[in-house]
Chain A
Amino acid sequence: SQQGEEDPQALSIQEGENATMNCSYKTSINNLQWYRQNSGRGLVHLILIRSNEREKHSGRLRVTLDTSKKSSSLLITASRAADTASYFCATALTTDSWGKLQFGAGTQVVVTP
C-alpha cells in the first residue's frame, strides 16, 4: 500500500510558470524526501525535509512540510522544459526506516517551451 498521495496526478504548464504539487501521507513520519524521475530512468533526489522542519529551499525548489496536516508541497519556480518529469514524495516512517521509503503515486509534470 502507498503511504503518500500526490496531487495533482498530472500538471501541464508553460516554461517560466511555477509548478506546485502536493503530497499527503497517513501516519507520522521521520522525514520526507522528494524525487524526480525522467521517463525510463532512475530517481533523482531533490530535497529531504525532516519532521521538525517546516520549509527547505534548493535552487528553484521550495519544499514545505505541515506535520499537523500530514502534507508536504513542492514548488518549482520559473519552470524549464528540462523539468518535465514525474515527481514523487517518499516518507520514512520511523527512525528504524534507514533505507525503507514509502512512495506516493507521483505527479507527472509537462513543461511546454
Chain B
Amino acid sequence: KAGVTQTPRYLIKTRGQQVTLSCSPISGHRSVSWYQQTPGQGLQFLFEYFSETQRNKGNFPGRFSGRQFSNSRSEMNVSTLELGDSALYLCASSLGRTAGNTIYFGEGSWLTVV
C-alpha cells in the first residue's frame, strides 16, 4: 500500500512568487493535514481537511491556503512568498473521524525562497 506522496520534493522560488504543493494521501484516508517545519519554529500545524472541508487551521497568515479534492488529494498554496517561508512542508493523512487514528506523514516538499 503506497504511503503519503508529496510533490514536488524540492523547489526554489523567488520572493513574491507563489507556490503550490501537492499531496496524495494513503488510499482510504480522508483526513489530510499540512505542517511546516523550520529550524527556528519546529513543526507547526497549518491546516486540516476532511471531505473537502477545512476542519482546523493553524496560526498562519492568509497567504497560506489549501484545498482538498473529492478523491482526498490535497494542495496547499503559498502566495507572495517571503524568505521566511523557506521550510520543509509535510503532508499527513489519517482515516479521520476520530483523534485516535495513526497519522502518517509523507517525505515532504523542501521549499527554498530566494
Question: Cβ of B101 and Cβ of A98 under 8 Å apart?
Answer: yes
Residues of B within 8 A of A102 (CB): 45
Question: Cβ of A103 and Cβ of B42 under 8 Å apart?
Answer: yes
Given contacts A2-B42, A30-B99, A45-B102, contact A99 B107 (CB under 8 A): no
- Check if A69 is an interface residue, CB within 8 A of chain B: no
Residues of B within 8 A of A45 (CB): 102-105
- Check if B94 is an interface residue, CB within 8 A of chain A: yes
Residues of A within 8 A of B105 (CB): 35, 42-45
- Check if B48 is an interface residue, CB within 8 A of chain A: yes
A60-113 contacts to B (CB < 8 Å): 88, 90, 92, 94-106
Question: Cβ of A30 and Cβ of B100 under 8 Å apart?
Answer: yes
Question: Cβ of A33 and Cβ of B102 under 8 Å apart?
Answer: yes
Number of interface residues of A (CB under 8 A): 29
Question: Cβ of A100 and Cβ of B45 under 8 Å apart?
Answer: yes
Question: Cβ of B98 and Cβ of A95 under 8 Å apart?
Answer: yes
- Check if A31 is an interface residue, CB within 8 A of chain B: yes
Question: Cβ of B99 and Cβ of A94 under 8 Å apart?
Answer: yes
Residue of B nearest to A35 (CB): B105
Q: How far is the CB of B52 from chain A (nearest CB, A)?
A: 14
B→A interface (CB under 8 Å): 4, 6, 31-33, 35, 42-45, 48, 50, 55-56, 58, 88, 90, 92-94, 96-108, 110
A→B interface (CB under 8 Å): 2, 30-31, 33, 35, 40-45, 48, 50, 88, 90, 92, 94-106
New A-B contacts (15) at CB < 8 Å, excluding given A92-B99, A98-B99, A98-B101: A40-B88, A40-B110, A41-B107, A43-B92, A45-B105, A90-B103, A95-B99, A96-B56, A98-B31, A99-B33, A99-B48, A99-B55, A99-B94, A101-B33, A103-B44
